[in-house]
């Protein structure tokens, strides 16, 4: 998880990661997917992460 993320983005990352893990995604893959979603949202200037 990048250091330049705000506390809000950090909480969102954790929530997304845990959601993937609850759905049976392995930890490494869940972390990668969560980071990808957060980075995509940051590139697009979105504050909120919507459903996939």
Domain extent, residue 27, equals 7-38
- Tally of structural domains, the chain: 1
At residue 41, the pLDDT reads: 74
Mean pLDDT of the chain, nearest integer: 81
| Residue 44 located in a structural domain | no
Mean pLDDT of the 9-17 span:
90
Report the C-alpha gap between 7 and 26 in whole angstroms: 24
| Residue 51 located in a structural domain | no
Neighbours of 38 (CB within 10 A): 21
* pTM, two decimal places: 0.71
| Residue 23 located in a structural domain | yes
| Residue 11 located in a structural domain | yes
Please give, one letter per residue, the 3-state secondary structure of the chain. Answer: CCCCCCHHHHHHHHHHHHHHHHCCCCHHHHHHHHHHHHHHHHHHCCCCCCCC
At residue 48, the pLDDT reads: 60
């Amino acid at each position: 998880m990048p250091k330049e993320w705000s506390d809000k983005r950090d909480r969102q990352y954790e929530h997304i990661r845990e959601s993937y893990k609850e759905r049976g995604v392995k930890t490494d893959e869940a972390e990668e997917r969560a980071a990808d979603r957060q980075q995509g949202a940051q590139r697009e200037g979105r504050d909120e992460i919507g459903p996939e």
